[in-house]
Structure 1
Amino acid sequence: MGNLLPVLLAVGLLTLMIAWGKVQPLLAFVVASLVAALLLGVPPERIPGAIEKGIGDLLGSLVVVICLGAVFGKLIADSGAARRIATCLLDALGPARIPVALTVTGFVVGIPLYYNVGFVLLVPLIFSLVAGSGRPAVALAIPLLAGLSIAHGFLPPHPSPVALVAAIHADMGTTLLYGIVVAVPTLILAGPVFAMSLRRIQATPAAIFRDGAQVDDTRLPGAFNSFASALLPVLLLAATTLLAMARPDLDGALKFFSNPLVVMLLSYLVAVFTLGLAQGRTLSQVMQGPGEAMREIAPILLIIAGAGALKQVLVESGVSAELGAQLQSLPVQPLVLGWLVATVIRICLGSATVAGVTAGGIVAPLVHSSGVDPNLMVLAIGAGSLMCSHVNDSGFWMFKEYFGLSLKDTFRSWTLMETLVGVFGLLFVLLLSMFL
């Protein structure tokens, strides 16, 4: 266990810098990587090259996919497709099933949209439903936000799952299919079922949020167009993955069409036409969104880059393989261990993305040494990265301030919902592993 101490010290330093020092995550990762390399005995002249290689290797395979996911999600939001999906589901299921409609809305809209975008876009819808139905705001919000959160933590093309797929050599399409299997029962329990216990919590949202609830629905795209465009990446990945399983002889051709870069590019080009040009917008108007999306995604790309630097230092020092053997010797199931590592980092740092990609770098050698299914490990780490959201998580404060809640009620609703997502997510991953 001699080389484990430097790794723990480096992760502790990373936690200290980000959580208490408020250091920009990329800078914190680079400093922690330098310290880890020196403590692990990497020759000083090789350290800068290792850090650069780690950043380049991880970002090289991800940056285009993540950026395409960002601009695709931005177009889904700006075109009104996300709003149309929400209103269509609410109309179809009726007033008596509003929580179910919001649960499905959060999950479906959460697949193409990044969490913060989905939150800001859909919370006004919740307030308009509160005004029209008289139902408690928190009990309506939790099912929708559980759907957004689960998609954010479990499913590609979100940054953390995409980075984890690359870090531990999983398959994007298979991870997506397994993720949906795990996500649905997790969402039911942590969303509408849990929300039934929150009816007595009273929200007092600020006027600025309530006043933004009314949106003109007359120029929204059609329902079929909205659903088909938003879910196209999922449909393409799922279809090519299932076809590859059924027809192994087509594997060569399907590798091109199932590549996440090709899937996201095709989906975006289709959406540019169906949600942009076909709706009467000019190409220059449609292209205003990508610039804003790139600015929004840049901090996440820097976090992933920093995690790549730390991962490469562990590989360069030789401690990665040793760490995998040591972790394997622990009397804990590998999937549970990956979940625990992500949970600890999440509690310390707050960010689900940082927790996911950092845990992936630490647990990657365990995946190879133990033979555990890498696709399930992605989901187990994703579940751990959502655990126990509290005061160091921006999502905690967004929920508290938008709904005007006390700290006690925020812990009782938001924090407990995120914890249920993490716990049930792991349980269903373990259950799924028994059948694979």
Structure 2
Amino acid sequence: MEFLVLLVGIAILLALIIKFKINTFVSLVLTAMIVGVGLGMPLTKIATSVQNGIGGQLGELSIVFGFGAMLGRLVADAGGAYRISHTLIEKFGKKRLQIAIVLASFIIGIALFFEVGMVLLVPIVFAIALEAEVPILYLGIPMAAALSVTHGFLPPHPAPTAITAALNANAGHVLLYGIIVAVPSVIIAGPVFTKVARKLVPDAFERTGNLTALGPQKKFNLEETPGFGISVLTSLFPVLLMAITTIYQMIFNHGALPKNPSMLDSIIAFIGTPAISMTISLLVAMYTMGWARRIKTPEIMNTLEDAVKSIAMLLLVIGGGGAFKQILIDGGVGDAVTKLFSGVNLSPLILGWLIAVVLRVALGSATVASLTAAGLVLPLMKSAGVDPSLMVLAIGAGSLAASHVNDAGFWMFKEYFDLSVKETLSTWTVLESIISVVGLGIVLLLSLFV
């Protein structure tokens, strides 16, 4: 019964978003309420679950996402991202252009949301491809692969941060294991897959791209942009803080805060929490990308306000995903999944990945697929004793699979690189699926040691 209601709910959600073009946040909340009624929940309980789901999801995350968007915009508007890309390309030379693009996209991708990173990097990729006389897609595939792995595996990105909170995982461990998963995934889905794609769809590599889809482009004079070192440091500052906490706790406290922490233990743990690390990092960015460059405070504040406007709807969508997840938990769907798979000899990590894949294919949004999958596997994960950090990454891998026509990223890639739908399916959809499968494989390998 619970599964039938869930399937009907997903069908309703799909119809509202795709057929009737209803806003994703509105669709999620409406679907959550309908599913709650279908599961036989008391009407007053449905309202409470929706409120708790949204509130619980956005509690800490609103700071992480908001400040993360502000930090990314400060780095981008100051020309820091431009400096990072050009310096790496200059150092690596034309023969290793793909590696330079992967590194630049990876660094910039950690600090920026996927869509923002894509908008920022595409003009740079076009300019470099033109100068180096290589096909635009030759650099576009590695760029998209690097942005995708940061989006799917690494905090402070929306999906991994949200699932980390939902599954009560250690953010530092997710980041550490996430990098281990991300590196081979991006190499295989980026430079290696490019060689295969060039044989599969040779015509796609003759396209010249479409910059008009990005709107007016901000021009930078390289000499006037921040230095490479300070740009990289600012972009990676939240990652560094979380990494410091994780490494310290693994060396001195066996990976967790002790029962009677010293002052140093408390301080290290404090700076490594996502909300605090993002707060500190934003203050650093305001100085390095703003005040240190003699930019006045009102101008910096305008940049921060514009950054928040760009993620307002994303925050609501994540809240809506939280509402849907909470209804599924409170309505007993999570328990039903546990009963269904209790006698099945299937790794909970594979199960979490499979659920996320199905939801990703059905719903399009990686973030919504992740949150819904997290709600469904939470009871199963607890009963099986799986490391929450690895479950976050397994679900993250599943949420990237088979991006197609119901995903915004699909259309962004298609438009920017001027591809047909068939060519986009043969490049973008395949590279996303490669990341998903390789990511799961590395997670399963890690589970043998963690």
Q: What's the TM-score, normalizing by structure 1?
A: 0.95
1:353 to 345, 353, 367: 367
- Between 27-36 and 83-92, report the one with greater CA deviation: 27-36
- C-alpha displacement at 1:209, in angstroms? 6.6
1:415 aligns with 2:429: yes
1:202 aligns with 2:206: yes
- Between 151-160 and 344-353, report the one with greater CA deviation: 344-353
Counterpart of 1:171? 170
1:13 aligns with 2:1: no
Counterpart of 1:219? 224
Q: For the Cα contact (< 8 Å) 1:127–1:213, is it kept in 2?
A: no
Q: For the Cα contact (< 8 Å) 2:414–2:420, is it kept in 1?
A: yes
Looking at structure 2, the residues matched to 213 and 258 of structure 1 have their Cα atoms a distance apart, in angstroms, of 34
Partner of 2:222: helix, strand, or coil? coil
1:44 aligns with 2:48: no
Counterpart of 2:338? 324
Looking at structure 2, the residues matched to 328 and 204 of structure 1 have their Cα atoms a distance apart, in angstroms, of 53
- C-alpha displacement at 1:320, in angstroms? 2.8
2:235 to 230, 246, 258: 230
User: Which letter maps to 1:375?
Assistant: S
Counterpart of 1:96? 95
Q: For the Cα contact (< 8 Å) 2:110–2:236, is it kept in 1?
A: yes
Alignment of 1:32-431 (within 5 A): 32-199=31-198, 200=202, 201-206=205-210, 208=212, 215-248=220-253, 250=261, 251-431=265-445
User: Which letter maps to 1:208?
Assistant: T
Partner of 1:111: helix, strand, or coil? helix
Looking at structure 2, the residues matched to 143 and 207 of structure 1 have their Cα atoms a distance apart, in angstroms, of 18
Q: What's the TM-score, normalizing by structure 2?
A: 0.92
Q: For the Cα contact (< 8 Å) 1:80–1:221, is it kept in 2?
A: yes
Looking at structure 1, the residues matched to 218 and 233 of structure 2 have their Cα atoms a distance apart, in angstroms, of 26
Looking at structure 2, the residues matched to 169 and 364 of structure 1 have their Cα atoms a distance apart, in angstroms, of 10
**Compared CA separation, residues 212 and 301, structure 1 to 2 (3 A):** closer
- C-alpha displacement at 1:109, in angstroms? 0.8
Looking at structure 2, the residues matched to 354 and 413 of structure 1 have their Cα atoms a distance apart, in angstroms, of 23
- C-alpha displacement at 1:252, in angstroms? 3.5
Partner of 1:329: helix, strand, or coil? coil
- Between 374-383 and 43-52, report the one with greater CA deviation: 43-52
**Compared CA separation, residues 21 and 209, structure 1 to 2 (3 A):** closer
- Between 195-204 and 256-265, report the one with greater CA deviation: 195-204
> CA offsets, 1:156-194, max 9 Å, x none?
111111110111111111100000000001111111111
Looking at structure 1, the residues matched to 218 and 126 of structure 2 have their Cα atoms a distance apart, in angstroms, of 6
> CA offsets, 1:198-228, max 9 Å, x none?
4432113236379959642221100110111
- C-alpha displacement at 1:299, in angstroms? 1.4
**Compared CA separation, residues 428 and 395, structure 1 to 2 (3 A):** same
Looking at structure 2, the residues matched to 168 and 238 of structure 1 have their Cα atoms a distance apart, in angstroms, of 20
Looking at structure 1, the residues matched to 414 and 325 of structure 2 have their Cα atoms a distance apart, in angstroms, of 35
User: Which letter maps to 1:57?
Assistant: G
Looking at structure 2, the residues matched to 296 and 213 of structure 1 have their Cα atoms a distance apart, in angstroms, of 17
Looking at structure 2, the residues matched to 261 and 207 of structure 1 have their Cα atoms a distance apart, in angstroms, of 35
- C-alpha displacement at 1:338, in angstroms? 0.9
Looking at structure 2, the residues matched to 206 and 303 of structure 1 have their Cα atoms a distance apart, in angstroms, of 29
Q: For the Cα contact (< 8 Å) 1:385–1:422, is it kept in 2?
A: yes
Looking at structure 1, the residues matched to 245 and 72 of structure 2 have their Cα atoms a distance apart, in angstroms, of 22
- Between 145-154 and 394-403, report the one with greater CA deviation: 394-403
Partner of 2:224: helix, strand, or coil? coil
Looking at structure 2, the residues matched to 188 and 158 of structure 1 have their Cα atoms a distance apart, in angstroms, of 20
**Compared CA separation, residues 163 and 209, structure 1 to 2 (3 A):** closer
Looking at structure 2, the residues matched to 213 and 134 of structure 1 have their Cα atoms a distance apart, in angstroms, of 23
Partner of 1:435: helix, strand, or coil? coil
Looking at structure 2, the residues matched to 59 and 122 of structure 1 have their Cα atoms a distance apart, in angstroms, of 29
Q: For the Cα contact (< 8 Å) 1:71–1:289, is it kept in 2?
A: yes
Structure 2: tracts of 5 or more residues without a match: none
Partner of 1:287: helix, strand, or coil? helix
Q: Percent identity, aligned pairs only?
A: 43
User: Which letter maps to 1:26?
Assistant: F
Partner of 2:206: helix, strand, or coil? coil
Q: For the Cα contact (< 8 Å) 2:211–2:416, is it kept in 1?
A: no
Q: For the Cα contact (< 8 Å) 1:19–1:349, is it kept in 2?
A: no
Looking at structure 2, the residues matched to 206 and 315 of structure 1 have their Cα atoms a distance apart, in angstroms, of 44
Q: For the Cα contact (< 8 Å) 2:213–2:415, is it kept in 1?
A: no
Q: For the Cα contact (< 8 Å) 1:33–1:309, is it kept in 2?
A: yes
- C-alpha displacement at 1:132, in angstroms? 1.1
> CA offsets, 1:44-78, max 9 Å, x none?
23221221122112211321111111111111211
Looking at structure 1, the residues matched to 103 and 342 of structure 2 have their Cα atoms a distance apart, in angstroms, of 38
Looking at structure 1, the residues matched to 190 and 73 of structure 2 have their Cα atoms a distance apart, in angstroms, of 25
**Compared CA separation, residues 254 and 321, structure 1 to 2 (3 A):** farther
Structure 1: tracts of 5 or more residues without a match: none
- C-alpha displacement at 1:421, in angstroms? 0.9
Instruction: Count how many residue pairs are aligned between Structure 1 and Structure 2.
Output: 435
